[in-house]
Amino acid sequence: VAGSRYRGEFEERIQTVLNEIISHQEELVIFVDELHTIIGAGGAGGEGGLDVSNVIKPALARGELHLIGATTLNEYQKYIEKDAALERRFQPIIVAEPTVEQSVEILRGLRDKYEAHHKVKISDEAIVAAVELSDRYVSNRFLPDKAIDLVDQASSRVRIGLSSHSDEMRSLQAQIDHLIRERDYARSHKEYDRAKVLEKRINEVSERKDQSTQEWRKQKGITSAEVQMKHIAQVLSKLTGIPVTELTEAEKKRLMRLEERLHRRVVGQEEAITAVSDAVRRARSGLAERNRPVATFLFLGPTGVGKTELAKTLAEAVFGDESAIVRIDMSEYMEKHAVARMIGSPPGYVGYEEGGQLTEAIRRRPYSVILLDEIEKAHPEVYNLLLQVLDDGRLTDGRGRPVDFTNTVIIATSNIGSDYHQQEKIGFVNSREQRENEQLRERLLEEVRNHFRPEFLNRIDELIVFHLLTPEQVEQIVRLQLDRVCQTAGSQKITIAFDRSVVKYLAEVGYSPEYGARELKRRIQTEIENRLAREMLRGDIKEGEKVKVGYSIKSGIRFQTGQKVKKREKVSV
């Protein structure tokens, strides 16, 4: 029979090893890692040959073998439980993940090995930080493995930082080597005066090199061969993208002036900006709850007043990148079956291996803003799915893997009740009408309570109502948009100055309470950008020219070209 020789040979070798073990059974305890791999090993493709598990069963039954096997719960269930004869020959022992305190003791026991390997000293605060930070921020692995990894990588980072050199240091070392060769040559030819001068220069350059080395290490944050808490935090920040490093003075000032940074792009909406800023400061100071997202908001109000823009601005101001935003258009989840796309299809369905749109995005970038745009358009099943995210900061995807949402800011936007704004306020909001905002807010919140379930609203940190824009705020938005036009034209080496009459005209004709500030953008494209593009293509406006844009009732918006400018001027709109 084909393959019989192979099967017989495999059995013979396993039996020889087994006999050797049995003959010394009082002296040996056999440990088999990944125990599930013995099932089917050497079975010759299932053609009747004995695999390792069948060979060792008789010895296990007779008690001739002291065997400890290690495997995971999933693999034990998948492989070993199916073989009842093998399962009953083992006593299962569940090894739980060690606690934070136990993990600290494990790392203290391993400290000597890592110190000897990396030739650095590992401080006790670094060990405690590695365990506590990995327990909090690394969710898809277990202690003590993830803490050991942090200590290992931080030790390597310190060691490399000590041995690395800047370009200036390498240049100074090359000078020292050259001077040493010159000095040795002078000594060999009995030019002692020259050798003395060279010796003095060597000492001077060496001092400069030592000073440069200290500055370089200080800049890199590595001044000694000791792994500290800050090094663990730096490694974790690199791995996860979550800023867990200590707050620097510059960052403290930036967080205190967060409202000012948000107001650069979002006009008005003081209540919304203050609430968002307070939540971010609370989280960055370490005072936020550990098992919930940083903050969850429901933005309410008419279209085009800055709800989505505030979410984008927050991502840029806090996370340093406007792309640190996961935008989910909830109108794509209007059908019940579409809900599975958020967390991934269940086993047996198309797309099971691909993962969910929301869960995969957060797995790759756990520190980001989640924007659930126009949430009222989603199917009610979506709200049930979001309950555990809002409450526990976690969600299990279609493949059974938990995804951590505790470092995200969740913002849901809704246009519910926006028709109240149109009924109550035709045109702009003026100062006399501001007192009606509170009454309008109550009616809006009542509408929201009628649409969303209480258990969903109860998990939202704050319901924030965005108000209609005042005439002054609309003019401010026009200035922001025209400043953007100036910047894009500046890239073509064309300098534009807008007259105040243009700002007033665009604010009057471009804003509509029904469509919000988006109508302004369209009007600027039509009235300014389209005409500017035509003038440039015709050659009426050339590279390096200065253009003044004005407005009059008789002639409308007009372009006037002035003298040529050699470089781009900063133009205040």
What is each CA distance from 64 to 25, 26, 173, in whole angstroms?
A: 7, 9, 67
Over 70: is that where the pLDDT of 46 sits? no
CA 525 to chain centre: 34
- Please state, rounded to an integer, the average pLDDT across all residues of the chain: 78
Q: How far apart are CA 374 and CA 328, in angstroms?
A: 9
425 contact partners, CB below 8 Å, separation of at least 6: 433, 468, 513
Residue 524 pLDDT level (bands cut at 50, 70, 90):
confident
Find which of 366-380, 510-524, 545-559 is predicted with most confidence, using mean pLDDT.
Answer: 366-380
Nearest to 50 by CA among 58, 42, 59: 42
Question: Scanning the structure block, which residue is given the tokens 């924007």?
Answer: 371
Q: Judge whether 370 and 409 are in contact, CB under 8 Å.
A: yes
Continuous segment of H or E residues that includes residue 152: helix 145-163
Specify burial of residue 477 (Cβ count, 10 A radius: 0-12, 13-18, 19+): buried
Structure token pair of residue 202: 């060597």
Q: pTM of the predicted model, to two decimals?
A: 0.66
Q: How far apart are CA 461 and CA 288, in angstroms?
A: 12
**What average pLDDT does range 534-556 have in this prediction?**
78
β-pair type (545-552, 556-564): antiparallel
Q: Please report, as a single letter, which amino acid is at residue 3.
A: G
**CA within 13 Å, CB half, 416:** 27
Residue 151 pLDDT level (bands cut at 50, 70, 90):
very high
Residue 573 pLDDT level (bands cut at 50, 70, 90):
very low
Other CB atoms within a 10 A radius of the CB of residue 337 amount to: 11
What is each CA distance from 176 to 100, 207, 445, in whole angstroms?
A: 50, 11, 75
What is each CA distance from 99 to 28, 109, 196, 303, in whole angstroms?
A: 31, 15, 65, 50
Nearest to 294 by CA among 308, 307, 280: 280
Q: How far apart are CA 67 and CA 63, in angstroms?
A: 10
Question: What's the pLDDT score for residue 166?
Answer: 63
Tell me whether the omega of the peptide bond preceding residue 144 falls within 30 degrees of 0, making it cis: yes
Residue 103 pLDDT level (bands cut at 50, 70, 90):
very high
Find which of 117-131, 209-223, 330-344 is predicted with most confidence, using mean pLDDT.
Answer: 117-131
Q: Judge whether 469 and 520 are in contact, CB under 8 Å.
A: no
- pLDDT tens-digit map of 61-88: 888 888 899 998 888 888 888 888 888 8
Specify burial of residue 177 (Cβ count, 10 A radius: 0-12, 13-18, 19+): exposed
Question: What's the pLDDT score for residue 102?
Answer: 92
**What average pLDDT does range 206-229 have in this prediction?**
73
Strand, helix or coil for residue 299 = strand
- pLDDT tens-digit map of 315-336: 877 776 777 788 888 888 888 8
Q: How far apart are CA 495 and CA 548, in angstroms?
A: 8
Over 50: is that where the pLDDT of 571 sits? no
Question: What's the pLDDT score for residue 565?
Answer: 41
**What average pLDDT does range 509-513 have in this prediction?**
71
Question: What's the pLDDT score for residue 148?
Answer: 92
Q: What is the DSSP string of 507-533?
A: HHHH-BTTTBTHHHHHHHIIIIIHHHH
**What average pLDDT does range 488-512 have in this prediction?**
79
Question: What's the pLDDT score for residue 105?
Answer: 92
Question: What's the pLDDT score for residue 231?
Answer: 85
The structural domains of the chain, ordered by start, are 4-87 (3.40.50.300), 100-229 (1.10.8.60), 250-465 (3.40.50.300), 471-564 (1.10.8.60)
- pLDDT tens-digit map of 344-375: 877 777 777 777 888 888 888 888 888 888 88
Question: What's the pLDDT score for residue 436?
Answer: 58
Beta strands in 415-555 (DSSP E): 462-465, 495-498, 545-552
Continuous segment of H or E residues that includes residue 560: strand 556-564
Q: How far apart are the first and last CA of the chain?
A: 91
**What average pLDDT does range 107-123 have in this prediction?**
89
Strand, helix or coil for residue 550 = strand
141 contact partners, CB below 8 Å, separation of at least 6: 134
What is each CA distance from 527 to 452, 504, 561, in whole angstroms?
A: 42, 14, 17
**What average pLDDT does range 481-489 have in this prediction?**
82
Q: Judge whether 344 and 352 are in contact, CB under 8 Å.
A: yes
Over 70: is that where the pLDDT of 406 sits? yes
Strand, helix or coil for residue 370 = strand
**What average pLDDT does range 166-182 have in this prediction?**
77
Q: How far apart are CA 15 and CA 154, in angstroms?
A: 46
Q: Judge whether 232 and 154 are in contact, CB under 8 Å.
A: yes
**CA within 13 Å, CB half, 366:** 25
Q: Judge whether 414 and 448 are in contact, CB under 8 Å.
A: yes
**CA within 13 Å, CB half, 141:** 14
Angle at which helix 124-137 crosses helix 229-240, to 10 degrees, equals 20
Q: Please, what sign has the CA dihedral across residues 363, 366, 369, 375?
A: positive
519: left (phi over 0), alpha (psi -120 to 50) or beta: alpha
Q: How far apart are CA 304 and CA 518, in angstroms?
A: 5
- pLDDT tens-digit map of 235-279: 888 887 776 665 556 667 777 888 888 888 777 778 888 888 887
Specify burial of residue 454 (Cβ count, 10 A radius: 0-12, 13-18, 19+): exposed
**CA within 13 Å, CB half, 460:** 22
Question: What's the pLDDT score for residue 41?
Answer: 66
Q: Judge whether 298 and 319 are in contact, CB under 8 Å.
A: no
